[in-house]
Chain A
């Protein structure tokens, strides 16, 4: 029975995405990157920091894409394809983790604040205001530079901030749902608040949740890329932003187009995929957009 629920849910999601050509595009891209992230260590042809030599035994420094090096090499003679693949894993890991954690925080704050209202709401919302006062990247930079360049600090820093938007929106939604009869009825039936919040209200904001999960992941990816590009990232793990940072500091930005193009395209693809999917959900979450 539980399973069937999940199944129905998935089917529903599929329908939503299927119904929207942007959504479809997004889903395909996501699937693509997801697979790569999973298989990364097995499909990456070379080591992350390995300086390659060409068939002639010369160091393959800044080679344009060729049969030998499909996506070219870096100033250190490293295979860009491999870096890209391994970077996908890290990027997806960071995006997914911080995206999910932040929606978890945001959703719960939103739900509780919206449902209980009053003092609790006041407290939560002031808190959200404070977080809104935090300049995002600077916060990231400070935290990372203080506590060390390490994936987990990056994730923590991101999570500390980006839940704010989802919290506000979900709260507003919950407030309106709270008034509906069936909630009142459930109250009358003496359902526990917990049951009402997670059993009755939660399902109704599901599309919104998914929408903001997508957003949060997108934002995390962008944020991480930004921080990495500024050099505030784990030097022993590479991400797309990190690749661009290496390019930037190598000073080859104007010549090594292949080195610049691939990570940039990956970032844009992944993020826009998420944005498009979230737009598909937006149409569900607020039908007004549908008519167009």
Chain B
């Protein structure tokens, strides 16, 4: 078990390092002079040179790389080209917006998905089963911006149930940090983007839950549980569901990874000031320090989530505490 966790952790660190390195070189081989826009042409040569130096542009590549890695660790991620703010300050504010949105969306998907999956397995072959399968697959094939825009049109523009976008009503300043989560205005704005994301990813946990549920209910320990005279609910949830959840759990970590990559679109559609939106802005305004850091932060988030999933999986399924890991 320890051995397993340790190995996983090492892999994770390695992965992060590798992603960082790849990123460094992607951003170095891109065309053009990245600083042309920050360094005002009005400045004389001397002060331009001074600025280039400040950006570390005068140094040879391997030193730049060393500095870059050092910066990553010491959280000195450079300064934004467009806003002159330290990248870290920008991100620490955007980070939570994304995490909250993703958290809400993903928990909704997973809970609803598994619940539905259970019921579908329970009533297999029934109308619900079939219709749910088809609609989930179709939802999965509908890009989030299509569903998102549909939601906006119907629920926001037509019925005026939800705001058109953003995180707060203009002027209603939000509390920062966790307190934000308990702010009614914020939650009101959260609904649409959250369900848009949730619906898009619903199919995966739902179908997997359904399948593994069907697999489990055939097994002997379920029969024994029934023979023990446990209530059907207990049998279904405590025995069947508990086991059926394992594969769902494995997938969910990967799923969240995908979602974190994809939330760019949702944030754009609902003008949600998260990392995704920042990513787009930075990329199209060529604000490289920001784009780079945002990308990296997303990547780190993904791999760390996977790590956590792997570790908690050990606790969920006693069978894989044996070294060698799952599968």
B149 touches A260 (CB 8 A): yes
Given the complex, which residues of A lie within 8 Å of B265, measured CB to CB? 137, 226, 229-230
Interface size class of B (residues with CB under 8 A): 35 or more
CA–CA, A32 and B149, complex, Å:
27
Cβ distance B258 to chain A, nearest Cβ, rounded Å: 7
A152 to B22, CA, bound (A): 20
Q: Is the interface of B mostly helix, strand, loop or mixed?
A: helix
Chain A residues whose C-beta falls within 8 Å of the C-beta of B261 in the assembled complex: 134-139
**Given A146-B27, A218-B141, does the pair A141, B258 have CB atoms closer than 8 Å?**
no
Bound: A292/B142 CA distance, A: 26
Residues B254 and A132 in contact, CB atoms below 8 Å apart: yes
Whether A244 lies near B327 (C-beta < 8 A) is: no
State in angstroms the CA–CA spacing of A272 and B203 once bound together: 12
Interface stretch of the complex, out of A9-17, A84-92, A178-186, A263-271: A263-271
- Measured CB to CB, the closest approach of chain B to A228, in angstroms, equals 10
Task: Report A278-292 CB contacts with B as 1/0, cut-off 8 Å.
Answer: 010000000011001
With contacts A141-B264, A142-B295, A292-B125 known, is A226 near B283, CB below 8 A?
A: no
Q: Does A7 contact B (CB under 8 A)?
A: no
Query: Counting CB contacts under 8 A, is B153 at the interface?
Result: yes
Q: Does B53 contact A (CB under 8 A)?
A: no
- B145 near A: Cβ within 8 Å? yes
Q: How many whole Å from A225's CB to the nearest CB in chain B?
A: 5
Closest to A269 in B: B141
Q: A137, A241, A292: which contacts B264 (Cβ < 8 A)?
A: A137
In the complex, the answer to whether A226 meets B262 with C-beta atoms within 8 Å is yes
Interface size (A, Cβ < 8 Å)?
A: 44
Is A289's CB under 8 angstroms from B143's CB? no
- Give 1 or 0 for each of B135-152: 1 = CB within 8 Å of chain A CB: 001101111111001000
The answer to whether B31 touches A268, judged by C-beta atoms less than 8 angstroms apart, is: no
- Within 229-265 of B, Cβ neighbours of A (below 8 Å) are at 254, 257-258, 260-262, 264-265
A126 close to B14 (CB less than 8 A): yes
Give A138 to B296 CA distance when docked, in angstroms.
10
What residues of chain A lie closer than 8 Å to B22, measured between beta carbons? 130
Q: Is the CB of A147 within 8 A of B284?
A: no
What is the chain A residue whose CB lies nearest that of B144?
Answer: A226
B-contact bits for A231-272, CB 8 A (1 contact / 0 none): 110000000010010001000011000001000100110011
B214–chain A nearest beta-carbon distance, Å: 7
Q: Flag if A267 contacts B268 (CB, 8 Å).
A: no
Within 8 A of A (CB), among B278-300: 279-280, 283-284, 286, 291, 294-295, 298-299
Q: Are B30 and A147 in contact (CB under 8 A)?
A: yes
8 more CB-based (< 8 A) A-B contacts, given A138-B298, A268-B146: A135-B299, A137-B264, A138-B294, A145-B283, A253-B153, A264-B146, A272-B140, A288-B215
10 A–B contacts from the bound complex (CB under 8 Å): A132-B257, A133-B19, A135-B299, A138-B295, A142-B26, A146-B26, A172-B327, A222-B143, A244-B146, A267-B142
The 9 closest A-B pairs by CB, nearest first: A135-B261, A271-B141, A146-B30, A272-B141, A136-B261, A145-B283, A135-B298, A264-B146, A133-B303
